[in-house]
Amino acid sequence: MKTIKRVVLGLFSAATRLTALALTGTMGIFLGAMVLEGWKEALDFPGVPQALALYKEAQGPLIDALRAKLPPVFGGFDAAPWIFFAGLLAMWAVLLAQNARINYHVFLMAQEKRNEQRARELEAERLERQREYKESVARMEREAKERADREAVERARRMAELEMQHKSVEALKAREAQRRADEARIAHEAQLREIEEERLALEARRQAEAEAAQKAAAEQAMHAPQPPARAPEPVTLSGGVNKPRSREELLELMAHAKKQLELQKRALSFLSIDVVDSTGMKVGEDPSIATRDFKHYRKLVEKAIADHKGLKAAWTPDGVMICFPTAETAVGAAKQVIRDLEDFNKNVKAMRRDFKVRCGVNSGTVLFDDTVPMEEMSDRSIDIAGHMQKYAEANAIFLGKHVVAEMRAADEFVPASREVDGCEVYAWRSQNN
> Residue ranges per domain, the chain?
2-129, 265-429
Segment of 60-69, 194-203, 259-268 carrying the highest mean pLDDT: 194-203
Q: How many CA atoms lie within 13 A of 171 on its CB side?
A: 6
Condensed to tens digits (0 to 9), the pLDDT of residues 99-125 reads 888 888 888 888 888 998 999 999 999
Question: Which residues does 236 contact at the CB level (< 8 Å), separation at least 6?
Answer: 242, 243
Q: What is the pLDDT of residues 170-199, one digit of tens each?
A: 888 888 888 887 887 787 778 778 787 877
- Answer with the residue of higher pLDDT: 63 or 414: 414
Closest CA to 412 of 335, 322, 341: 335
Is 95:16 a contact under the CB 8 Å cutoff? yes
What pLDDT shows up at residue 409? 85
Q: Is 55 in contact with 35 (CB distance < 8 Å)?
A: no
pLDDT-based confidence at residue 234 (cuts at 50, 70, 90)? very low
pTM of structure: 0.44
Identify the band that residue 248 occupies on the pLDDT scale cut at 50, 70 and 90: low
CATH code for 265-429? 3.30.70.1230
- Of 46, 42, 24, 44, the closest CA to residue 33 belongs to 42
Q: Is the pLDDT at 239 greater than 50, yes or no?
A: no
**pLDDT over threshold 60, residue 233:** no
Q: What region, left, alpha or beta, does residue 293 occupy, with left being phi > 0 and alpha being psi -120 to 50 degrees?
A: alpha
Query: 431: burial class by Cβ within 10 Å (0-12, 13-18, 19+)?
Result: exposed
Q: How many residues does the chain have?
A: 433
pLDDT at 121: 94
The Cα–Cα gap between 406 and 390 comes to 22
Could you give the angle at which helices 247-263 and 80-223 cross, rounded to 10 degrees? Answer: 150
